[in-house]
Amino acid sequence: MKEYLEKIPEELRGLINKVRSIAAQENLRGYLVGGFVRDLILGVKNLDLDIVVEGDGIKFAESLGQQLKAKVIAHKQFGTATLSLRPSLKIDFSGARSEYYPKPAHLPVVRPGSLREDLFRRDFTINAMAIDLSDGKLIDYFGGASDLRNKIIRVLHDLSFIDDPTRILRAVRFEQRYSLSIERQTLSLLKSALRNKMLEQVHPHRTRDELILILKEENVVKEIERLHKLSGLDFISAKLKINTRTRVFLKTIKKEIDWFNQRNPGRRPLDTWLVYLIGLFDPLGIREIKSICAKFGLRKGEEKRLLSYKQFKLSWVKELSAVTIKPSRIFALLEPLSYETILVLRSKHNNKRFKRNLADFLEIYNGLRIYVGGEDLHCLGILPGPGYKEIFTQVLNAKLNGKVKNKEEELELIRKLIKNRS
């Protein structure tokens, strides 16, 4: 297994060596576990380290955090801690644990345990492997490496989907991401859990988190199709169906996301999962969407973006499809919308002029600013008040429509506006 450790990027190797050193000083055994080990074997990049120690995981993380001068967030209820070195690099720590589920579909009760017990509580064999940091050897009690070679997903015990039904969503996610197949007995257990509507017994917030992870995947359409084929989407809404129209729409959304990322590299990153969710909710009405947002605990900003798409009037679509529409009107219609909403509108309406006007907003008008400010208006003798906003709006509209190009022309326009008022 040492050859895999040698393939880890230099920065991570340094961290792992630091972890190994501290573990040795404190006479603890430390292990790389979970998805990082899986991806290391597959040769897939993964910067999220997951480390289990046979001892106090929080105390161990705090010792490392002090040496690295890094922030550590502890979760004492679960005996875990996260050390953040930068937004894209974190290490999760825990002490080896065993667990049991007091009720189906509820959170487990955890207690200290052995490494074997810790690996056994995981979702699938491919995620239940470890690397001993002291010697770099692979620990694989349950045949995860063999299942990876055979390209299958297998649960570790027959109650896996009963204990935690969100594993149904994770099975679909890993199956599509890595081009694996759900093993026959595992698939039988999965379908049995679905027939018993186990997903509907999970707290909706946990289901939401797993659904968002699916919508963040590279092959979203395949994942949604697979999920729909296995279970339908009733656990979200009985009104959600996947048909040919939906597939085409979601694929068009993927093209629009790729277009936006290519043409607008300097903009804020898209919430791509929300773009797909807006598209997925296209058949639903406003009341139904509000109900889902409340049930799954979506944030107000997320709900607003979902609803703004449904509330966009057909008359506005017709306006934006006209050749004669002024840039100031394009700006007025689209400026209140998010990038996510605009991209779904571009996906929905295949009128070339409509798509061109939305592209012009994103690439030209969005973020356009005028040169004059409040101090300039004050110097012209205009007292602060509601009139400032009205003047700024008129100057911005003139700039959007190409009537003013620099600060002098903006000031001249303001003088004319003042003169016309008097």
Last residue of a domain, one of 126, 150, 174: 150
Residue range of the domain that includes 402: 374-421
The reply to whether 12 falls in a domain is yes
| Residue 33, beta-bridge partner list | 130
Total domains in the chain come to 2
Residue 386: inside a domain: yes
| Token digits of residue 86 | 């930068």
One digit per residue, the tens of pLDDT, for the chain of length 422 reads 566 677 777 778 888 888 888 888 888 889 999 999 999 999 888 888 899 998 888 988 888 888 888 889 998 877 899 998 877 788 899 999 998 899 999 888 888 999 999 999 999 999 999 999 888 889 999 999 999 999 999 999 999 999 999 999 999 999 999 999 999 999 999 999 999 999 999 999 999 999 999 999 999 999 999 999 998 899 999 999 899 999 999 999 999 999 999 988 888 899 999 999 999 999 999 999 999 999 999 999 999 999 999 999 999 999 999 999 999 999 999 999 999 999 999 999 999 999 999 999 998 888 778 788 878 777 877 777 777 778 778 878 888 888 888 888 888 888 887 777 65
Quick check: helix, strand or coil at residue 313?
coil
- What CATH number does the domain containing 112 carry? 3.30.460.10
Q: Running DSSP on this structure, what letter comes out for residue 268?
A: P
Residue ending a domain, among 150, 166, 189, is 150
Instruction: Examine the fold and report which residue of 121, 150, 179 is the final residue of a domain before the chain moves on.
Output: 150
| Residue 258: its H or E element | helix 244-263
In a domain, 406, yes or no: yes
What residue spans of 128-243 are helical by DSSP H?
144-149, 160-163, 166-177, 184-195, 204-215, 220-231
The answer to whether position 219 is within a domain reads no
Distance CA 188, CA 182 (A): 9
Assess if residue 404 is contained within a domain: yes
In a domain, 19, yes or no: yes
Please indicate, yes or no, if residue 399 is contained in any of the structural domains: yes
Q: Is 254 helix (H, G, I), strand (E, B) or coil?
A: helix
Residue 184 lies in a domain: no
